[in-house]
Amino acid sequence: MVESYHPLRIFAGSAHPELAKEIASLLNVSLGESTTRHLPDSEIHVMLDEVVRDQDIFIVQPCSAPVNDNLVELLLYLDAFRRASAHSVSVVIPYFPYARQERMASGREAISARVVANMLENQGARRVIFVDIHSRAIQGSSTSRWIR
């Protein structure tokens, strides 16, 4: 049997880089280098500043206020990791966005938590790690592995 080794790397989104640094320090792993910029038209641009091919990536990005900016930044990082051929990407989201919108309270409305879960999965999140989630039903809305 052939064993494969994929180095562990931790990256920080701009929402809480101190948390990512603390996690990396506790795991004795260096923090990955990346750049997040806000363009003049308010768009977000992310770039990986190092090679991540065949590495197991953890991206730490709470999606608290400003929720939509932090969520889009996370989705852009997921796309960048996938395009850079990371072996796997796990998302650490202490605050899960739209978690309180996990069901339809009345007809003709979106189930926003499911939409967010699907976006994360569709962009390549293999695992989603969170601290607290409003409803466990959100975990069943995607095939990614959810860890509390």
Render the chain in DSSP notation, one character per residue. Answer: -------EEEEE-TT-HHHHHHHHHHTT-PBPPEEEEE-TTS-EEEEE-S--TT-EEEEE----SSHHHHHHHHHHHHHHHHHTT-SEEEEEEEE-TTTT--S-SSSS---HHHHHHHHHHHTT-SEEEEEE-S-GGGGGGSSSEEE-
Structure tokens at 66: 């400003």
Residue 93 lies in a domain: yes
pLDDT, one tens digit per residue, over 23-78 is 999 999 999 999 999 999 999 999 999 999 999 999 999 999 999 999 999 999 99
Share of the chain above pLDDT 90, in %: 69
What confidence tens digit (pLDDT) does each residue in 83-92 have?
A: 999 999 999 9
**1 belongs to a structural domain:** no
pTM as predicted:
0.85
The total number of structural domains that make up the chain = 1
Q: Which of 2-6, 39-43, 96-100 is modeled with the greatest confidence?
A: 39-43
Tell me, yes or no, whether 3 lies in a domain: no
Contact 37, 84 (CB under 8 A): no
Looking up residue 86, the CATH number of its domain turns out to be 3.40.50.2020
pLDDT at 139 over 70: no
Question: Which two tokens mark 107?
Answer: 């007809």
Please give the residue range of the domain that contains residue 20: 8-147
Domain for residue 44, yes or no? yes
